[in-house]
């Protein structure tokens, strides 16, 4: 049993990109689906789909690579807020990741979104992770 599903998801994606796997399987939760949707919309993954295996929902993520050497689009993925130390940011102090070349995923009262979308809406929240 996994206690931190977000860290588990990010670690599985990080490990799969290091060994250049095409797909990665993750237990599906509402949060992992929201993060996968953001990753797809921002162009970090090709696609994702959910399926049931023995009454357990799973999420299949198709990873994205570029060039002949198959370099991963995701250079680094880093968990910020952890169960033992939550990290929050208000709307005026939302993080910039590499001067907006990367994204920060924020959990707000209006759902999970990127730092740019949260700044546009003028809301803050829990900083989940950085991706670039």
Domains of the chain: 5-131 (3.30.1490.10)
The model scores a pTM over 0.85 = yes
How many angstroms separate the CA atoms of 129 and 115, rounded?
A: 10
How many angstroms separate the CA atoms of 126 and 56, rounded?
A: 28
For 45-60, what is each residue's pLDDT tens digit? Answer: 999 999 998 899 999 9
- Quickly count: other Cβ atoms within 10 Å of residue 74's Cβ: 19
For 62-115, what is each residue's pLDDT tens digit? Answer: 999 999 999 999 999 999 999 999 999 999 999 999 998 999 999 999 999 999
How many angstroms separate the CA atoms of 100 and 104, rounded?
A: 9
Question: What does the H/E/C string look like for 76-126?
Answer: CEEECCECCECCEECCCCCCCCCCCCCEEEEEECCEEEEHHHHHHHCCCEE
């Amino acid at each position: 049993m996994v206690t931190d599903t977000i860290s588990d998801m990010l670690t599985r994606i990080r490990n799969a990109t290091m060994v250049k796997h095409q797909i990665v399987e993750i237990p599906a939760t509402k949060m992992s689906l929201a993060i996968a949707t953001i990753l797809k919309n921002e162009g970090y993954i090709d696609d994702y789909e959910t399926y049931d295996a023995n009454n357990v929902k799973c999420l299949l993520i198709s990873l994205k690579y570029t060039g002949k050497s198959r370099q991963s689009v995701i250079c680094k993925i880093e968990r910020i807020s952890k169960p033992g130390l939550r990290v929050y940011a208000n709307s005026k102090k939302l993080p910039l990741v590499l001067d907006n070349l990367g994204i920060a995923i924020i959990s707000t009262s209006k759902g999970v979104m990127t730092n740019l979308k949260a700044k546009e809406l003028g809301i803050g929240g829990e900083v989940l992770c950085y991706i670039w």
